[in-house]
């Protein structure tokens, strides 16, 4: 999916800063090496770098490419705390200018989803943190109350909606009760906090797709 215009939202300020910097033509100027000493040096520097900044975006890219299992995890102080990944080979990108033109009509918004101004016929795709034990994707986390609040917000949308999540019994029950068309499928896990990349049962919930 490559829409001409898009509004992309997240509660993680580092992710939004990264995409904003990519939109501005981000180029990596710091050395990138698959080295544990450099990793922890950059992790400490990243946790001390203020937002928004191109340097913080460079650190964020490096840490996500080099850290354990592709995790993006923060402690209660908002500090990135993922350990070194120990990959054999990592291919790093230094120039993101190819994406700059693509993102020119994209807006990147930092904040809660219920603050978004969405058009009546806009297609919404929501990809919240999975309903699993690990939810510290951002400093604030994402609780079950947030899952319910999101589902209710999506149900109130007048345009087409698609959302995905871990197919836990309570998630399936929540979206079915709100009138969504619910399907499940086995999907590969590209990120896992415990190293388990076996396929997971995932839910796809939709409503209003006849309008799309």
Note the pLDDT tens digit of each residue in 142-186.
899 999 999 999 999 999 999 999 999 999 999 999 999 999 999
| Cα gap 188→180, rounded to integer Å | 24
Neighbours of 154 (CB within 10 A): 22
User: Are 89 and 143 within one domain?
Assistant: no
Report which of 35, 23, 28, 97 is spatially closest to residue 58, judged by C-alpha positions.
28
Q: Which long-range contacts (CB under 8 A, 24 or more apart) does 173-177 make?
A: 174/147, 174/148, 175/151, 175/203, 175/205
109 is a domain residue = no
What CATH number is given to the structural domain containing 64? 1.10.1020.10
Those residues whose C-beta lies under 8 Å from the C-beta of residue 83, and which sit 6 or more positions away, are 67, 68
What pLDDT digit, counting tens, does each position of 92-121 carry?
999 999 999 999 999 999 999 999 999 999
Residue 41 has phi, psi (to 5 degrees) of: -65, -45
Look at residue 134 and tell me whether its pLDDT is greater than 60: no
What pLDDT digit, counting tens, does each position of 9-67 carry?
999 999 999 999 999 999 999 999 999 999 999 999 999 999 999 999 999 999 999 99
Is 84:36 a contact under the CB 8 Å cutoff? yes
Would the CA dihedral through 82, 198, 137, 11 be positive or negative? positive
User: Are 129 and 207 within one domain?
Assistant: yes
User: Are 74 and 149 within one domain?
Assistant: no
What CATH number is given to the structural domain containing 154? 3.40.50.150
121 is a domain residue = yes
Q: How confident is the model at residue 200 (pLDDT cuts 50, 70, 90)?
A: confident
Q: What is the pLDDT of residue 197?
A: 62
Residue 83 DSSP symbol? P
Boundary residue ending a domain (41, 67, 102): 102
User: Are 94 and 124 within one domain?
Assistant: no
What pLDDT digit, counting tens, does each position of 72-86 carry?
999 889 899 999 999
199 is a domain residue = yes
Share of the chain above pLDDT 90, in %: 79
Report which of 27, 25, 67 is spatially closest to residue 46, judged by C-alpha positions.
67
Look at residue 211 and tell me whether its pLDDT is greater than 90: no
Residue 2 DSSP symbol? -
Domain coverage including residue 168? 114-211
Q: What is the dihedral of CA 65, 68, 71, 77, to 10 degrees?
A: -110
Q: What is the pLDDT of residue 33?
A: 98
User: Are 94 and 143 within one domain?
Assistant: no
21 is a domain residue = yes
108 is a domain residue = no
Between 64 and 70, residue with greater pLDDT: 64
Mean pLDDT of 202-208: 97
């Amino acid at each position: 999916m490559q829409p001409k215009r898009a509004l992309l939202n997240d509660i993680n300020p580092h992710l939004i800063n990264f995409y904003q910097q990519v939109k501005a033509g981000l180029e990596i100027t710091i050395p990138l090496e698959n080295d544990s000493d450099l990793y922890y040096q950059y992790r400490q520097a990243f946790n001390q770098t203020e937002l928004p900044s191109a340097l913080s975006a460079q650190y964020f890219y490096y840490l996500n490419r080099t850290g354990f299992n592709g995790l993006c995890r923060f402690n209660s102080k908002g500090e990135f705390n993922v350990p070194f990944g120990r990959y054999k080979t990592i291919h790093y990108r230094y120039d993101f200018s190819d994406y700059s033109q693509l993102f020119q009509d994209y807006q990147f918004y930092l904040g809660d989803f219920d603050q978004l101004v969405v058009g009546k016929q806009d297609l919404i795709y929501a990809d919240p943190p999975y309903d699993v034990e690990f939810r510290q994707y951002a400093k604030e986390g994402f609780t079950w109350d947030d899952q319910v609040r999101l589902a209710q917000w999506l149900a109130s949308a007048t345009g087409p909606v698609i959302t995905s999540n871990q197919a836990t019994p309570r998630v399936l029950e929540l979206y079915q009760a709100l009138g969504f068309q619910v399907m499940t499928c086995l999907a590969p896990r590209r990120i896992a906090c415990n190293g388990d990349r076996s396929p997971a049962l995932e839910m796809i919930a939709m409503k209003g797709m006849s309008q799309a």
